Amino acid sequence: MRKLAQKFDALDYEFSAVYERARLLQDEIAGRMTAITNRRLFTLSVLTACMLPSTLVTGFFGMNTKDMPFQSGDGGTWYALLLVIAAGGLTWWLLRRTKAL
């Protein structure tokens, strides 16, 4: 009976150790997944911040109103495109300068 009780105690100890190791591995995997998710969200936030000014400019030029800028001269689309690129570049530069990137 005593040997059987010792074997059960040993099995209980081993099960406890395996359970503890499994819990630690699960915590480590959850931490890694959180880090990956945070990196992806950061990338998405940076892309959103860089695209916001260009979206604003294209939305402005997409309005059907009278007296829009660059409407009367030749190459107005290219000027608007340069304005979009400049707005995105300015945003990227500001994010770099404030060390947000």
Average pLDDT over residues 6-34: 93
d(CA 87, CA 83): 6
Q: Nearest CA to 83 among 45, 47, 56?
A: 56
How does residue 64 score in pLDDT terms, banded at 50, 70 and 90?
low
Average pLDDT over residues 29-50: 91
Average pLDDT over residues 44-65: 79
Contact 55, 62 (CB under 8 A): no
d(CA 98, CA 79): 28
Whether the full predicted model's pTM is greater than 0.75, yes or no, is: no
The residue type found at 13 is Y
Residue 29 has pLDDT above 90, yes or no: yes
Cβ-Cβ contacts under 8 Å for 90 (sequence gap 6 or more): 53
More confident residue, 70 or 18: 18
Phi-psi region of 65 (alpha: psi -120 to 50; beta: other; left: phi over 0): beta
Residue 67 has pLDDT above 70, yes or no: no
- What the block records as the tokens of 52 is 């916001």
